[in-house]
């Protein structure tokens, strides 16, 4: 059990072994990775630092398990995946507190998002799998969908469990076996998930866990010829490296990378509501969200109104202890991330953006913790650094446009294309604008996240899709049998 908010039980926090082939096995080396609480800045746990030899063992176990697992009837795989969701639900409080301790999200949001979404994903994948056709007749051919093989999954720290489950659940549903490398920044939740895999009886070798750094374990996974596909979520820079290594064995690659998403508020929108919701989607998880709506595009004639609303809204974003019910923004995940975000704020000021709220200074009264003030810039032009680069912190850029065509052009003027939003009193108008955005998903008038809809990006936001039926299909190969 958890020892209390921000303090972890030793059995959860001190991990000395990897989960490989259905057993907890010692690593080949002695190095460990310490896990820090970004609010207290104290070390809260340790995990082994894996090597390429550890990856080889995990790949061998996954390959040995593939034949039996891939031939297991879909209904049986579905039942097991559903049991994983139930087991996670039974440990929801423990997992939520663990993730808030590891990466700083306020506990009420951790319950709903960091753990709630993975539970929904397990359940939805289990149900979808029962209804999926894996073959069809096309003329004189039987077209068969088969699992791609062994999946190497490399996942990030910002939504650690959600991004793991978004890969592992559909891959297992498709009949693949998995080698997982969680982020070394927030890895403890992955070890607790491995406990659940063991608890519900996932067959030996279907799920394997090796923790470590991206430069060692991540690269070993991406380049290992025994892995048939790699699915990576993280920065665009790291995604390029994964694709480069994977190309040497011509394995399939799915990449979910950075974003610089635009929230377009048209001139007939409910301005107060659109700005408030748009800001919440920028500052969620302290801005450490790949689909964060970090560019707010507003009519030039209403720019001053938007600035006033934004300044009022920022005051409600209380910084503090992730385990306090009054906290809306927790710390950033690390001191390096904090300094990176602050440097972008300084750059925005240096390049001439108007500072509406926030700034690079440390928040008053918070002497420990990796905090950054929620910051709003206005009069931002498209060539400014803060309008073009992914900051991954609570920083909003307000950009003026002249008409609908100008709004679309500015929204699409980005190397990224992961998400977006459009607000208008006229739904048809909003949809027309949304259809013109070169991005993987668009929220219209506050449309909520749909865990069964495809998730993924255009351009340098990556390729491939996760979640729902589309997520399962990502891990399938197509074969034609002619008669």
Catalytic residue annotation: 256, 290
| Cα 190 to the center of its chain, rounded Å | 14
CA atoms of 213 and 33, how far apart (whole Å): 9
3-state SS class at 337: helix
Nearest residue to 169 via CA among 129, 202, 200, 125:
125
DSSP annotation of 218: I
CA atoms of 253 and 55, how far apart (whole Å): 18
CA atoms of 267 and 408, how far apart (whole Å): 14
> CB atoms < 10 A from the CB of 185, how many?
19
CA atoms of 331 and 100, how far apart (whole Å): 10
End-to-end Cα separation, the chain, in angstroms: 58
CA atoms of 218 and 180, how far apart (whole Å): 9
- With tokens 């003027």, the residue in question is 413
Do residues 150 and 176 make contact, with C-beta atoms less than 8 angstroms apart?
A: yes
CA atoms of 287 and 386, how far apart (whole Å): 13
Backbone angles phi, psi at 396, to 5 degrees: -110, 135
Q: What is the CA radius of gyration of the chain?
A: 23
- With tokens 């905090």, the residue in question is 371
């Amino acid at each position: 059990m958890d020892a209390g908010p921000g303090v972890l039980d030793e059995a959860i926090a001190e991990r000395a072994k990897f989960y490989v082939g259905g057993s907890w096995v010692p690593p080949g080396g002695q190095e460990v990775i310490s896990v820090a609480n970004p609010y207290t800045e104290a070390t809260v746990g340790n995990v082994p630092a894996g090597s390429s030899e550890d990856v080889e063992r995990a790949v061998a176990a996954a390959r040995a398990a593939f034949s039996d697992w891939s031939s297991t009837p879909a209904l049986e795989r579905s039942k097991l995946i559903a049991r994983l969701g139930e087991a996670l639900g039974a440990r929801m409080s423990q997992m939520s507190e663990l993730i808030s301790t590891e990466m700083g999200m306020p506990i009420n949001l951790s319950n709903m998002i960091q753990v709630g979404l993975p539970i929904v994903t397990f359940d939805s994948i289990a149900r979808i799998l029962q209804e999926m056709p894996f073959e069809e007749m096309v003329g004189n051919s039987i077209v068969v969908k088969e699992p791609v093989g062994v999946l190497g999954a490399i996942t990030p720290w910002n939504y650690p469990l959600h991004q793991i489950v978004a890969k592992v659940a559909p891959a297992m549903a498709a009949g693949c076996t998995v080698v997982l490398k969680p982020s070394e920044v927030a890895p403890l939740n992955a070890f607790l998930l491995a406990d659940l895999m063991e608890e519900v009886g996932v067959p030996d070798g279907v799920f394997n866990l090796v923790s470590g750094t991206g430069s060692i374990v991540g690269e070993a996974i991406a380049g290992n010829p025994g892995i048939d596909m790699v699915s990576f979520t993280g920065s665009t820079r790291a995604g390029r490296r994964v694709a480069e290594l994977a190309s040497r064995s011509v394995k399939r690659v799915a990449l979910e990378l950075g974003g610089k998403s635009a929230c377009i508020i048209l001139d007939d929108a409910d301005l107060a509501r659109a700005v408030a919701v748009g800001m919440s989607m920028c500052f969620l998880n302290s801005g450490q969200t790949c689909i964060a709506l970090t560019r707010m595009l507003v009519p030039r004639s209403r720019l001053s109104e938007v600035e006033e609303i934004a300044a009022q809204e920022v005051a409600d974003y209380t910084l503090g202890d992730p385990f306090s019910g009054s906290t809306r923004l927790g710390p950033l995940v690390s001191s390096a991330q904090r300094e990176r975000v602050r440097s972008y704020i300084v750059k925005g000021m240096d390049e001439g953006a108007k500072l509406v709220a926030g700034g690079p200074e440390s928040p008053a009264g918070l002497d420990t913790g990796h905090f950054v003030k929620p910051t709003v810039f206005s009069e931002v032009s498209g060539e400014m650094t803060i309008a073009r680069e992914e900051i991954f912190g609570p920083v909003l850029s307000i950009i003026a446009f002249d008409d609908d065509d100008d709004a679309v052009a500015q929204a699409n003027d980005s190397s990224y294309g992961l998400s977006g939003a459009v607000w208008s009193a006229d739904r048809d108008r909003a949809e027309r604008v949304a259809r013109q955005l070169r991005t993987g998903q668009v929220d219209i008038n506050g449309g909520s996240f749909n865990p069964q809809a495809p998730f993924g990006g255009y351009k340098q936001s990556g390729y491939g899709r996760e979640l729902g039926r589309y997520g399962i299909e990502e891990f399938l190969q197509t074969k034609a049998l002619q008669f």
